[in-house]
Amino acid sequence: MTNTNLVFKSLTRRKGRFLFTLLGIIIGMASFVTFMALGGSLKSQIERESAALGANLVVTPKGSCAYEQVSILTGEQLPTNITKDEVAAIRSIDGMMAIPFLAERSAIDNRPVSVMGILPGETREFKNWRLAQGEYFPHENAEGAVLGSVLAEQFGLLPGSEVRVRGSQIKVLGVLDETGGKDDLTVFLSLPVAQKLYDQKDLVSYVAVRVDHLDEVELYANKIKDKVSLGVVSDKQMRNSVLSIVGTVNITLQIIAAVAILAAAFGIVNTMMTATYERRREIGILQAMGATRTGIFKLFIFESGIYGLIGGVGGAVLGGLAAVFAAPLISQNAATSFVKGAQSSLDPMMFVGAILFSTLVAMVAGLYPAIKASKLSPVEAISYE
Amino acid sequence: MNNSVISAKGLVKEYGQGATLVRALRGVDLDIPRGSFTCIVGASGHGKSTLMHLLGGLDYPTLGTVIIDGQEVSKLGNKELASLRAKKIGFVFQFFNLLQNLTAKENIETALMLAGVPDHEQEGRAIELLELVGLEDKVNAKPGQLSGGQQQRVAIARALANDPPVLLMDEPTGNLDSEAEAEVMKVLENLKHQGKTIIFVTHSTEIAARSDNLICVRDGQVQEPQAFKKAS
């Protein structure tokens, strides 16, 4: 017999209670791990998207707020207030590359997808795309669509098949190689075709700018502002502003999960208090046999810790699975579609941290019952009927 | 009194205070000879169990001294007292008080663990002890699968786990039928022959008659055994 054996035998004596208390902590920890993983994946995805954008500056309609900046990174629909003349003025500045984008939305099989109007040749060069299947737009005004790899896979679309965008059947020309970003979930059309489909003649949503010399980003931002009355934001500003929103969302989600864990911790307190009362006589017997108060305290705190340890492992596994498999089903929005590429944010250290945290919370929850148990006098405990 | 394994002097035990003060023991002096079969007798509520708790180091006296195998209880802290109980005293209770979720062997192993016996030595010793009380075929039985007499024998085996010089038994046959009582008494006879000191709290005049040292507790004091015999 060891302390560990004794603890496990005590824990599993009342199997139902053990299971329900355990479920409380598993569910609490699972929600915590899920939110952490999703939060982490959103953050890393924002960073990936920002890098994938390939721009140092983004020109947006004047008065754009952080929401529009998020939309640029997530592929949401954007106001189309930038005119052809404004684009031309920006593109006339030397020492930088400026690419206009028309960001729209459509639906395939009732699921929302991003539709992007692009200048095919320049955008391919700007984004360094490679083609996986079929062909790319043969010229700048070409009819037809090029699809992101994940979108093509999700909807079973191949070169030659047709995709319906805003009521028009459009032939799929090709499928891009996986980029790891939102481009994988986008239908690309040539800019004139997209503008015609969405009645946005000569208008675009934003212009992505890459300057030739990184140390001149600020200078070029001012040059653009001199030419056009539009908002100019650097990729760093945009990333930080989006990350701060994501951070706020993460903290909110983690607070919700913390409440779940707190509730589970009180479940442990309740279970262990009940055990203390039920096992008074047993505590007395152990004391009569020579168990010290510290020994009794350790037994009870160890029991609580086991709840936390098993609950933490169960919660980490369940939460990890939820983050990978269930999250995309929760919503069809662009944020959760990121989860496909979210494996990288299932950090092993996060799991270890979650298990340690869960064990610690459970042991803290078990402190009061353990102290109560250890303070029972042997005579009082043995005499308990 | 060199031959005493336990001795008590001027033992007073009070519970509560003010209007609720209860004086359970009112100055008890006694000596338990080493190797004796001592019975503590008396009517319910007269202080037998309180005396037993003090003699076994489960509680501290309000006044007076208890010396167990040369160690004065009042001078020991909780930890030392727990260690003294583990090494010097084996407790047996009326309601067996076995841990219900453990087998007979595991109950004994728990006592061995608390006494610091390494895990790998516990099983052999536990089986030896079950053989000693004639329960070698009930090693893996849980208390619920054993009769009252068998459970009490497991409790005795458990009390012997650390080979203590003293067995302190609180009405161990009080909950048994005469056949089971006979089984337990047979085990105790053997233990007495092996030199164990047995302190046996009982209501039974028959068992008291078999003792070689009789202590009669009445109104929190030790009286002449004759008084008990008459009262009975």
Task: Dump pLDDT digits (tens) for B147-192.
Answer: 988 998 999 899 988 889 999 998 888 878 888 888 888 888 888 9
| Residues contacting residue A325 through CB under 8 Å, at least 6 positions apart | none
Helix, coil or strand: residue B129: helix
**ipTM field:** 0.83
Count of beta carbons in the 10 Å neighbourhood of residue B27: 15
pLDDT of residue A336: 45
Matching residue, tokens 């067996």? B96
Mutate to test the interface with B, among A8, A282, A285 (most CBs of B within 10 A): A285
CA A73 – CA A64 distance, rounded (Å) = 14
Sign of the CA dihedral running B145, B150, B152, B156? negative
Q: Confidence band (pLDDT; 50, 70, 90) for A68?
A: low
Task: Dump pLDDT digits (tens) for A243-290.
Answer: 887 788 878 888 888 888 888 899 889 989 998 888 888 888 888 888
Q: Is the pLDDT of residue A345 over 80?
A: no
Strand A168-176, strand B4-15: pairing: unpaired
CB A101 within 8 A of CB A208: yes
CA A149 – CA A156 distance, rounded (Å) = 10
Q: Which residues of B touch A288 (CB under 8 A)?
A: 56, 58, 85, 89, 91
Using a pLDDT cut of 90, give the percent of chain A over it. Answer: 37
CA distance B54 to chain A (A): 10
- Residue B189: enclosing H or E segment and its boundaries? helix B178-193
Q: Confidence band (pLDDT; 50, 70, 90) for A383?
A: confident
CB B199 within 8 A of CB B52: yes
A3/B78 CB distance under 8 A: no
Q: Is the pLDDT of residue B51 over 90?
A: yes
A290/B111 CB distance under 8 A: yes
Q: Confidence band (pLDDT; 50, 70, 90) for A70?
A: low
Find, in chain B, the residue whose alpha carbon is nearest to that of A374: B78
In B1-40, the residues whose Cβ lies within 8 Å of chain A are none
Helix, coil or strand: residue B146: coil
Find, in chain B, the residue whose alpha carbon is nearest to that of A8: B101
Domain boundaries defined on chain A: 3-43+243-382, 54-233
